[in-house]
Structures are given as structure tokens and as C-alpha cells.
Amino acid sequence: MLFLKPDLYVDSILDIPIDLLVESKIKGLIVDLDNTITEWNSPELKKEIFEWFAHLKIKQINACIASNNSHSRVSHIGQYLGIPAISKAGKPRRRSFLQAMKLLNTLPESTAVIGDQLFTDILGGKRLGLYTILVKPLNPREFIGTRLMRQLEKIVLKKCIFKEDKL
């Protein structure tokens, strides 16, 4: 269960205190796309999300999108935010996380992962010793396979988070 317990659990990426990341010496963020910064398969990026990423740059924290989604979708959002983007990431495999850290020029101890799924984002980050941040999905509309995994996630979340402490 420790490989599935996020270090921080928040409602939205906007609830992640950037100053906490700075204090924790986080220099790079590997960020999921669907239901983390955009709704599933939506090309729209809300103004508040764009501003949050702009604030990261001011605080000298670099970010990289790592998504299992298609190249055109992922690269479009990456270009809009002015950050690198890795598509068809194959999370939770290590390859994309290592590739992102190389792009960010960071080590595991200075890298955090932000995502909405325990079995891809959090598990992948934990396997490399990264700081992990779980956000609640932006919208219940999502890929059918993800919807099925959400049922398992609910069970795990109850056991590894709410039973011990609320992050």
C-alpha cells in the first residue's frame, strides 16, 4: 500500500501550495494531463491553470507533461504552456518519468509527480522515489478503462489514506 499512498492529496492542482514545493526543494514537476490540468480529451485549459503554471516559472520550478494520451493532444497543451510534453508515456512504467527528469534536469529527490490516478501517476512516481501529489479528477467523464480503475482506487484510498490520516 505504501507504493500507492500519495505524499499529498488535494482537491485540485490549484490547491498545491507552490511555496511548499519551494521549501521542499522541488525543482521539477511531472504533471499528468487528463483530469489533472484539463478535463478528459478537452482542448481547453482554464485561465487559473495557465496562471498556476506561470507562477511556477516565477518560483523557478520547471514542469513537464507526461500523459498516456496521443502526441497531438499532449504536445498542443505543452506548447500552449511553454513546457516539454511526453505523450504515450506508458505510465506507471519508469521510462517516461526518467525521460521527464532528464528534460527537467532534476534528480528524484528534487522532482514531484502530480496526477489524478493512483495506479499510473502515484505508483509510477513512487517506484522512483519521487514526491507524489494526488489530485481529485476534474470531471467524472473519462476513458472507460479509467472509470473501472476508479472503483479499485476508492478501496485503496480508504485503506491507505483515510484510515491512517488525511494528507
- The average pLDDT across 118-130 equals 92
pLDDT of residue 144 exceeding 70, the answer is: no
47: left (phi over 0), alpha (psi -120 to 50) or beta: alpha
Q: How many CB atoms lie within 10 A of CB 5?
A: 20
What's the confidence (pLDDT) of residue 16?
A: 95
What's the confidence (pLDDT) of residue 11?
A: 93
pLDDT of residue 165 exceeding 50, the answer is: no
What's the confidence (pLDDT) of residue 167?
A: 36
- Strongest mean pLDDT among 37-41, 132-136, 150-154, 156-160: 132-136
| Domains of the chain with bracketed CATH | 8-108+121-162 (3.40.50.1000)
What's the confidence (pLDDT) of residue 17?
A: 93
- Lowest mean pLDDT, pick from 76-80, 108-112, 140-144: 140-144
What's the confidence (pLDDT) of residue 149?
A: 66
> Residue 131 phi/psi, 5° resolution?
-70, 130
- The average pLDDT across 100-120 equals 95
- The average pLDDT across 80-106 equals 95
Q: Where are the alpha helices (DSSP H) in the chain?
A: 18-23, 47-58, 71-81, 94-104, 123-127, 144-157
Q: Using one digit for the tens of pLDDT, what is the confidence trace for 66-92?
A: 998 889 889 999 999 999 999 999 999
Contact present, 147 and 62 (Cβ < 8 Å): no
